[in-house]
């Protein structure tokens, strides 16, 4: 076997020694029942002779980015069950929502969800023995050494798709050089987002002959007619007020966004902010921040109406970010005023909404560059510059339309990663 198996044995020993701490955290953060059991690989065994594809996504953002691939696989392989795993409960909710959409179609695969097991040797073994997939697909940067090695032992080909390694992640993985080389030795094919990502994977030990630059699946967003319908209804309820959306926001960022909104309302008092925190656990904290800032609030989860007095509409629901983006005249994508690395700039662009961002874009450098090249991205640094940019945009319909058209053009021009990814996966299935 290529790589350094002893490095994985050391990793497993370290993981087992820390298991009380790991399990305590998992127990605290998991949902009761199924999620805790499945963390140990205890899932229902696949029926004898059944065929399945396994796709692992870390959390809600990855499931959303993988949606074009999920839908394509379900339609392309209706005879195989498609199993999605996630680390988080929010990711599970998003996976179930995608599966429900597909249920309305004929001739598509059954789509189900499990929580991915912890990478303990026994948990990985139980999970793989019970699932027995024809192909394992890992999305972006999920590299679990025992799961990867277990796939190879069972003759299960492994693909890493939309492969991404930020400079920061690369530096972290590089400190685990031999372990990462051993893990990557089990990968049958890697489709990287960019040549820079491919080079980082190769530097960690990924075989050059098994690596291909496919582009980013994020550009292959399908038109979501349901989201457009929700956007139109919400906009009709709001009326003709200027509206901006702040999506996927984080702790430490909401304060700056509310400051920007207060500054904007000094010039345009009727402006409305649709605020959508990234994590459900922060919904209450975001509502409290709005109240503390003196911003009259309406909450979507409670079906509260937006009145003339409402300053902030809190999008405290799951699976509606695209629809909420589509209800705005401009959209700020969060995780970019704090050192998170940004979130998907293409979601508002695909909805035909001008895109604003902060400077922290380490996770989306390729997407940001594509938008910059078409002058389809407005970049700000803090609450002051954000308020100024919003005031200019909300007062200039022609510039908003130019930005919206340029953003849509970027999405269209960069499509193709999905087709290249499916070709790579088909080769693995045909060779099996």
pLDDT tens digits for range 314-341: 999 988 999 999 999 999 999 999 999 9
pLDDT of res. 297: 97
Q: For residue 48, give the DSSP letter.
A: T
Choose, from 62, 140, 182, 253, the residue flagged as catalytic.
62
Q: Tell which residue, 215, 231, 188, 411, has the closest CA to residue 321.
A: 231
The torsion of the CA quartet 220, 322, 370, 215, rounded to 10 degrees, works out to: -30
For residue 139, the cross-strand partners are 161
List of residues 6+ apart from 203 with CB closer than 8 A? 170, 174
Please state, for a pLDDT cut of 70, what percent of the chain lies above it: 96
Residues near 364 by Cβ (< 8 Å), separated by ≥ 6? 341, 342, 343, 344, 345
Q: Is 259 a catalytic residue?
A: no
Contact 264, 387 (CB under 8 A): yes
259: pLDDT confidence band, cut at 50, 70 and 90? Answer: very high
Strands 135-139 and 52-56: parallel
Query: What are the pLDDT digits (tens) for 360-415?
Result: 998 888 899 999 999 999 999 999 999 999 999 999 999 999 999 999 999 999 99
């Amino acid at each position: 076997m290529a790589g350094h198996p002893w490095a994985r044995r050391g990793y497993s020993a370290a993981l087992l020694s820390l298991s009380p701490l790991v399990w305590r955290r998992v127990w605290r953060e998991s949902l009761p029942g199924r999620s805790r059991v499945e963390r140990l690989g205890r899932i229902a065994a696949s029926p004898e002779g059944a065929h399945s594809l396994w796709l692992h996504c870390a959390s809600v953002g990855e499931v959303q980015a993988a949606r074009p691939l999920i839908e394509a696989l379900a339609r392309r392989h209706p005879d195989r069950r498609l199993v999605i795993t996630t680390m988080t409960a929010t990711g599970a909710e998003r996976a179930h929502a995608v599966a429900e959409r597909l249920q309305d179609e004929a001739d598509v695969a059954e789509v189900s969800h499990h929580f991915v097991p912890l990478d303990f040797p026994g948990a990985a073994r139980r999970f793989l023995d019970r699932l027995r997939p024809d192909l394992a697909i890992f999305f972006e940067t999920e590299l679990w050494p025992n799961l990867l090695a277990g796939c190879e032992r069972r003759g299960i080909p492994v693909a890493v798709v939309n492969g991404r390694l930020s400079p920061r992640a690369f530096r972290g993985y590089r400190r685990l050089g031999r372990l990462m080389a051993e893990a990557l030795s089990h990968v049958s094919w890697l489709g990287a987002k960019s040549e820079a990502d491919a080079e980082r994977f190769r530097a960690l030990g990924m075989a050059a002959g098994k690596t291909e630059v496919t582009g980013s699946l994020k550009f292959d967003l399908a038109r979501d007619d349901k989201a457009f319908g929700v956007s139109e209804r919400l906009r009709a309820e709001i009326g003709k007020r200027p509206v901006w959306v702040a999506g996927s926001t984080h702790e430490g960022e909401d304060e700056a966004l509310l400051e920007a909104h207060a500054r904007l309302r000094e010039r345009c008092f009727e402006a409305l902010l649709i605020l959508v925190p990234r994590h459900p656990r922060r919904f209450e904290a975001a509502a409290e921040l709005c109240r503390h800032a003196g911003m009259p609030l309406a909450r979507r989860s409670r079906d509260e109406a937006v009145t003339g007095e409402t300053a902030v509409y809190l999008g405290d629901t799951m699976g509606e970010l695209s629809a909420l983006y589509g209800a705005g005249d401009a959209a700020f994508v969060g995780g970019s005023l704090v050192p998170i690395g940004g979130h998907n700039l293409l979601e508002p662009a695909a909805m035909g909404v001008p895109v604003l961002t902060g400077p922290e874009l380490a996770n989306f450098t390729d997407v940001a560059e594509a938008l910059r090249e078409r002058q389809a991205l407005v970049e700000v640094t803090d609450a002051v510059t954000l308020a100024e940019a919003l005031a200019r945009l909300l007062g200039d319909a022609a510039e908003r339309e130019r930005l919206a058209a340029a953003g849509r053009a970027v999405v269209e021009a960069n499509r193709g990663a999905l087709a290249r990814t499916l070709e790579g996966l088909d080769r693995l299935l045909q060779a099996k």
